[in-house]
Structure 1
């Protein structure tokens, strides 16, 4: 359940886990990933330059001894999702929150790399 670096930001892959949304402005990037059935302590987030990696493990449920699966649609096991961000971020300025199976990550762009508006002087 892994994925190579995401080169097309508008492409969606049904098998990619966790599914995520990403948006940005000049100062920051926000990533929201759905990770139902995964405990926060089973998730690892890393960032280097403009690459974000979300890795973890979705553990299988406890099934009584002798039980036979009738239907098994949810996958279990290790996962890794790697995505290229629209710009380099400051790894010391990353905040992650986990609520009800939704992981929200805010990544700040270094101040020195943010676009600056240049004033035009008359005459």
Structure 2
């Protein structure tokens, strides 16, 4: 057996190291463009003439455990997703675990024309949809040429 491999799952050790580094460097507000790989929940951001639309893919999350806030131009989505344990006997072993469980928090910087007083959120089929209205002054308008 090689001195490099000590009997533990090498990929699990890399994953643990990556999580520790993310814990040291993470936690700062960021935009979607600077989101780190593997962040949970995964999000899509779009816009209409009237609103900014954020859709977070959060399957397996109890809607009662979700917290959505808008403060100082930042949209924060946080919550907790519980672990799913196999129904097998006590001697069942996990060989791979890719499904995230535990607490999470995503912070998204909103554009200046977002109106924090016009926010709605709904959870349907594992997706959290957040709609943030735009300020009236930023909406497109037609100008009549005289």
Q: What TM-score bracket applies, with the shorter chain setting the length?
A: 0.7 to 0.9
Deviation of residue 57 (structure 1)? 0.5
Structure 1, 105-114 or 92-101: larger mean CA deviation = 105-114
Q: Provide the C-alpha distance between the structure 1 equivalents of 2:83 and 2:60, rounded to a whole number of angstroms.
A: 9
Partner of 2:122, secondary structure, is strand
C-alpha contact 1:46 1:53 (8 A) present in aligned 2: yes
Q: Deviations over 1:72-117 (max 9, x none)?
A: 1112111000011223433331111111111111110122443555
Match of 1:4 among 25, 28, 48: 28
Match of 1:100 in 2: 125
CA change 1:3–1:22 in 2 (3 A) is farther
**TM-score w.r.t. length of structure 2:** 0.68
Please give the residue correspondences for 1:29-68 in structure 2 after superposition, counting only pairs within 5 Å: 29-63=52-86, 65-68=90-93
Q: Provide the C-alpha distance between the structure 2 equivalents of 1:111 and 1:78, rounded to a whole number of angstroms.
A: 36
Q: Which runs of 5+ in 2 are unaligned?
A: 1-21
Match of 1:110 in 2: 135
Match of 2:47 among 7, 24, 47: 24
Match of 2:112 in 1: 87
C-alpha contact 1:90 1:109 (8 A) present in aligned 2: yes
Count, aligned residues: 120
Structure 1, 63-72 or 95-104: larger mean CA deviation = 63-72
**TM-score w.r.t. length of structure 1:** 0.79
Q: Which has the higher contact order (CA 8 A, sep 6+)?
A: 1
Q: Which runs of 5+ in 1 are unaligned?
A: none
Partner of 1:92, secondary structure, is strand
Q: Provide the C-alpha distance between the structure 1 equivalents of 2:54 and 2:93, rounded to a whole number of angstroms.
A: 38
